[in-house]
């Protein structure tokens, strides 16, 4: 299958497919006698996997590792489980940080709505953001 057909079948662009080749995620396909890339049928499933892994938040390096395990003839399930666990823990940590930030912003918003600018002095930069 030519690069344009693979791009259309996978919802990507030819530029993306060339990038996947350069990044080591997609093997360089054989060429036709006229020099066009001629991807094997299994390339479509591989590109689909790459896109799904990216949507799950895996980095290109992590995807490359998973593919290397699979290409080595082994199921990558254990490795994928570990990677997903790390990503989930990271997301949960970021959510906790965002929730704490939201609480601070809510309190600052309440302070701001109750602050009369006329009560500010020249030595105040911004009384809303000053810790009590």
Contacts of 129 (CB under 8 A, 6+ apart): 108
DSSP-derived 3-state class of residue 37 = strand
Residue whose tokens read 């036709």:
32
Write down the pTM of the prediction.
0.79
Mean pLDDT by 10 residues, the chain (132 residues): 95 97 94 92 96 97 98 97 98 98 96 88 83 62
pLDDT confidence of residue 128: 87
**How many angstroms separate the CA atoms of 20 and 51, rounded?**
10
Phi and psi of 31, rounded to 5°?
-110, 150
DSSP 8-state assignment for residue 74 = S
- pLDDT at position 29 is 93
Q: Looking at residue 39, what is its pLDDT?
A: 95
Predicted confidence at residue 23, as pLDDT, reads 96
Give the Cα separation of 67 and 46 in Å (integer): 9
């Amino acid at each position: 299958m030519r690069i344009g057909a693979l791009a259309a079948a996978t919802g990507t662009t030819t530029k993306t497919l060339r990038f996947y080749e350069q990044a080591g995620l997609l093997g360089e396909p054989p060429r036709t006698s006229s020099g066009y890339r001629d991807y094997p049928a299994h390339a479509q499933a591989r590109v689909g996997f790459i896109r799904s892994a990216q949507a799950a938040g895996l980095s290109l390096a992590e995807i490359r590792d998973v593919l290397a395990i699979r290409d080595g003839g082994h199921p990558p399930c254990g490795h994928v489980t570990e990677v997903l666990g790390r990503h989930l823990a990271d997301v949960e940590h970021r959510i906790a940080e965002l929730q704490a930030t939201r609480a601070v912003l809510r309190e600052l918003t309440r302070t701001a709505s109750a602050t009369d600018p006329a009560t500010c002095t020249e030595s105040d930069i911004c009384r809303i953001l000053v810790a009590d």
